[in-house]
Amino acid sequence: MELVTPGLGLIFWKTVAFAFVLIILKKYAWKPILKSIAEREREIADARQKAQQIDLELSNLEDLKARKIAEVELLCNQIVAKAKTEAQEIIENEKIRSIEDAAIILANAKRSVDEMKNAALQQMKGQVAALSLEMAEKLLYEELKDKENSNKLVNHLLDKAIPN
Amino acid sequence: MHEVGATYKVVKFCSVQKFFFSALLLLCIVAPANSNNAPEDTIREPFNAGDLIIGKAIDNFEWDIAKVGDSYIALPLPIILIYDGRFYFFLSSRFEHGKASYKGFGIGKTGSQRNRIIRVLDDGVTPDPNAGRLWNFSISKAAFSGLVSALLLCLVFVWVGKQYTKMGPGGTPKGFCALVEIIIIFVLKSTAFSSISHKYVHRFLPYLLSLFFFIFFSNILSLVPFFPGGVNITGNISVTFVLAMFTFFTTQFLANKGYWKHIFNTPGVPVFLKFPIPLMPIIELVGVFIKPFVLMIRLFANMTAGFMSILGFVCLIFVLGEFSTFAGFLVSPLVVFFLIFMNFLKILVAFLQAYVFTLFSAMFFGMAVPDDHH
């Protein structure tokens, strides 16, 4: 029976001891420990929230970056395409102009060649006329010496000088 | 005479059990030689395992550490008595281990008075039939061991608290503090924060933590086989009674309106259960007192059962040793194996029972402070 019968003395001392334990631990142990744990919990929660916010901002930035890159790529493509077409145009224009220039140069050359040919012809004609006169002079002089011979010579010279 | 002899026997075997863990090997070598040399001329009382176990499980007024030969090694504890309006203060060594009486006080030997301090007649043995009320405030073995555990608890946790103050709020604990914090957080999250509404939970935390660590420390201390441990602190019904009373009064004093309304006018129950015969209020009111009672019995029974089973295994050696010395030594390695197993189990039980007591206290607090919208 003594096993299950509470004893007064033990109850008294136990109550005193436990009450003291409660008071001392509450003040010197649980207060700082629980405060520290609560503070840490709060800090962790704060840090988590901050991290989430940063994560969100980061993903926003990522989106912005992607958008900007896309924009820039588009712009770049446009510029390149424009440059290509412009270059093509320039090339075409240059081609046309050079052909035109060449034609002008050719025409000029032709004209000057013609002019020089004409001038040369004129000069040759003058010289032929002068030569003819000289020959006519000599023939006339030979004619005067030998009639028959002079005739033959005149004919022959004339044939030679002027084939037509 | 027979009774006195039995007490002797008990004390003798207690002393062997005290040295059991450390001196087993030595015993194995020395004891057989001794039994050969010393002739068995003394009258041996039959070994009573039941008496020994009960004797160790209950409280005592002195702390018997060992008995070597005929001399006791015992720590005398203060006896504080109030009898007939007078105050008596002396050491338990005055009783000479239950044999003598002092100033008319002795230790009862029979029946309900066994192992209690009683008023005796001039012969020093016979209980005084006309004795008045005796108030016994002695610091018994369990009280002393409980004080040691309380002191240890304070030392450890005030130190831990100091470490926390030193590193400031929000700091990171290291080493032992980190271990303590894991236990604190585990206990609080799984008991207080899961049973008490978060609005009120903070007022209960210091009590629940103190409760948990006090029971845990006492449980562990009762596993230590030498001084100042080895005392069945939490397996003593007075101790569990005190703890249950703390929970009971905390529940009643910190309860809010919802709690009392739940008891006297239980919501969601048909009216005929409350009026004219107040069936539900009676049941609820009985429940208020059953709750701490259950707490008291659960811790007491669990710890005492574990304490007794360990002693039972130890006694197995001596019970078999009664038949033959050889059988006693033969069975001892097996018993040691079981004891190691039991000790591990008791460490688990020490934690578990502390946890369960805390959990149920937290649940009762949770019922005492229901949420307003509930």
Contact between B149 and B233 under an 8 Å Cβ cutoff? The reply is yes
For an interface test with A, which of B113, B164, B205, B245 has the most A Cβ atoms less than 10 Å from its Cβ? B164
- Interhelix angle B279-323/B2-37, nearest 10 degrees: 40
Residue B10 has pLDDT above 50, yes or no: no
C-beta atoms of A17 and B116 within 8 A: no
pLDDT of residue B28: 37
Q: Please tell me the distance from the alpha carbon of residue B316 to that of residue B305, in angstroms, as a whole number.
A: 16
Q: Which of B169, B171, B236 sits opposite A10 (nearest CB)?
A: B236
pLDDT of residue B67: 67
pTM tops 0.90, yes or no: no
C-beta atoms of B169 and A39 within 8 A: yes
Give the residue from B347, B368, B225, B208 showing the smallest Cα distance to B287. Answer: B368
Residue B265 has pLDDT above 90, yes or no: no
Same domain, B128 and B167: no
C-beta atoms of A36 and B139 within 8 A: no
* Structural tokens at position B157: 């946790």
B19 within domain boundaries = no
C-beta atoms of A3 and B143 within 8 A: no
pLDDT of residue B250: 92
Same domain, B124 and B150: no
Total Cβ atoms within 10 A of residue B240 = 28
B55 within domain boundaries = no
pLDDT of residue B7: 42
Q: Which of B150, B238, B300 sits opposite A10 (nearest CB)?
A: B238
CA-CA-CA-CA torsion sign (B244, B246, B249, B255): negative
Residue B1 has pLDDT above 80, yes or no: no
* Listed residues B82, B108, B139: the one ending a domain: B139
Q: Please tell me the distance from the alpha carbon of residue A158 to that of residue B268, in angstroms, as a whole number.
A: 156
B110 within domain boundaries = yes
CB within 8 Å of chain A, chain B residues 112-171: 112, 114-116, 135-140, 142-143, 146-147, 150, 153-154, 157-158, 160-162, 164-165, 167-171
* Geometric angle at alpha carbon A102, from A98 and A106, rounded to 5°: 175
B65 within domain boundaries = no
Total Cβ atoms within 10 A of residue B128 = 15
Residue B85 has pLDDT above 70, yes or no: yes
Same domain, B262 and B287: yes
Q: Which of B147, B165, B184 sits opposite A17 (nearest CB)?
A: B147
Which portions of chain A are predicted below pLDDT 70? 1-2, 142-144, 150, 163-164
* A34 Cβ contact partners less than 8 Å away, ≥ 6 residues apart: B205, B206
For an interface test with B, which of A8, A15, A26, A30 has the most B Cβ atoms less than 10 Å from its Cβ? A30
B351 within domain boundaries = yes
pLDDT of residue B323: 82
What mean pLDDT is predicted for residues B299-324? 88
C-beta atoms of B143 and A10 within 8 A: yes
B41 within domain boundaries = no
Residues of B in contact with A21 (CB under 8 A): 150, 153-154, 210, 214
C-beta atoms of A7 and B161 within 8 A: no
Kindly report, residue by residue over A106-154, the tens digit of the pLDDT. 999 999 999 999 999 999 999 999 988 988 888 777 666 777 776 777 7
Same domain, B94 and B149: no
Residues of A in contact with B239 (CB under 8 A): 10, 14
Same domain, B182 and B292: yes
How far is the alpha carbon of B332 from chain A, nearest alpha carbon, in Å?
Answer: 28
What mean pLDDT is predicted for residues B247-266? 88
Residues of A in contact with B115 (CB under 8 A): 2
Where does the pLDDT of residue B21 fall: very low under 50, low under 70, confident under 90, or very high at 90 and above?
A: very low
Highest mean pLDDT among B122-131, B205-214, B273-282: B205-214
Where does the pLDDT of residue B105 fall: very low under 50, low under 70, confident under 90, or very high at 90 and above?
A: confident
Same domain, B126 and B240: no
Q: Is B236 helix (H, G, I), strand (E, B) or coil?
A: coil
* B223 Cβ contact partners less than 8 Å away, ≥ 6 residues apart: B229, B230, B343, B346, B347, B350
What's the ipTM? 0.77
Where does the pLDDT of residue B54 fall: very low under 50, low under 70, confident under 90, or very high at 90 and above?
A: confident
Is B215's Cβ below 8 Å from some Cβ in A? no
Q: Is B198 helix (H, G, I), strand (E, B) or coil?
A: coil
Q: How far is CA B250 from the centre of its chain?
A: 22
| Residue the block writes with tokens 């811790």 | B299
Nearest CA in chain A to B59: A3
Same domain, B131 and B150: no
pLDDT of residue B34: 38
Give the residue from B173, B220, B55 showing the smallest Cα distance to A3. Answer: B55
Residue B115 has pLDDT above 70, yes or no: yes
CB within 8 Å of chain A, chain B residues 39-78: 54, 57-59
Q: What range defines the domain where residue B343 resides?
A: 142-368
Residues of A in contact with B138 (CB under 8 A): 9
How many structural domains compose chain B? 2
Q: Which of B161, B184, B300 sits opposite A28 (nearest CB)?
A: B161
Contact between B144 and B63 under an 8 Å Cβ cutoff? The reply is yes
Residues of A in contact with B80 (CB under 8 A): 9
Give the residue from B139, B98, B105, B145 showing the smallest Cα distance to B122. Answer: B105
pLDDT of residue A122: 92
Q: In whole numbers, what is the pLDDT of chain B averaged over residues? A: 81
* B235 Cβ contact partners less than 8 Å away, ≥ 6 residues apart: B57, B222, B300, B302, B303, B304, B306, B307
Same domain, B229 and B293: yes
Residues of A in contact with B176 (CB under 8 A): none
Kindly report, residue by residue over B315-343, the tens digit of the pLDDT. 888 888 888 888 888 888 889 999 899 98
DSSP B98: T
Contact between A23 and B194 under an 8 Å Cβ cutoff? The reply is no
Residue B77's φ and ψ, nearest 5 degrees, are: -115, 155
Q: Please tell me the distance from the alpha carbon of residue B237 to that of residue B62, in angstroms, as a whole number.
A: 18
Q: Is A120 helix (H, G, I), strand (E, B) or coil?
A: helix
Q: Which of A2, A3, A20 sits opposite B150 (nearest CB)?
A: A20
CA distances from B198 to B185, B189, B336, B361 (A): 15, 11, 48, 16
pLDDT of residue B23: 43
pLDDT of residue B18: 46
Q: Please tell me the distance from the alpha carbon of residue A44 to that of residue B37, in angstroms, as a whole number.
A: 73
B12 within domain boundaries = no
Total Cβ atoms within 10 A of residue A57 = 10
3-state secondary structure A133-158: HHHHHHHHHHHHHCHHHHHHHHHHHH
B24 within domain boundaries = no
Lowest mean pLDDT among A74-88, B180-194, B218-232: B218-232
List the beta bridge partners of residue B91. B78
Same domain, B132 and B205: no
Decide the pairing of beta strands B86-91 and B78-83. antiparallel
* Listed residues B122, B139, B156: the one ending a domain: B139
* Structural tokens at position B49: 């395992």
Residue B62's φ and ψ, nearest 5 degrees, are: -135, 165
* B106 Cβ contact partners less than 8 Å away, ≥ 6 residues apart: B95, B100, B117, B118, B119, B120, B124, B125
Nearest CA in chain A to B246: A15
Residue A40, sorted as left (phi over 0), alpha (psi -120 to 50) or beta, turns out to be alpha
For an interface test with A, which of B79, B210, B231, B241 has the most A Cβ atoms less than 10 Å from its Cβ? B210
pLDDT of residue B160: 92
Highest mean pLDDT among A122-136, B58-72, B91-105: A122-136
Q: Is B100 helix (H, G, I), strand (E, B) or coil?
A: coil
Q: How far is CA A143 from the centre of its chain?
A: 89
Same domain, B96 and B195: no
* Listed residues B139, B169, B193: the one ending a domain: B139
Q: How far is CA B195 from the centre of its chain?
A: 27
List the beta bridge partners of residue B134. B83
Same domain, B207 and B244: yes
Where does the pLDDT of residue B29 fall: very low under 50, low under 70, confident under 90, or very high at 90 and above?
A: very low
Same domain, B228 and B203: yes
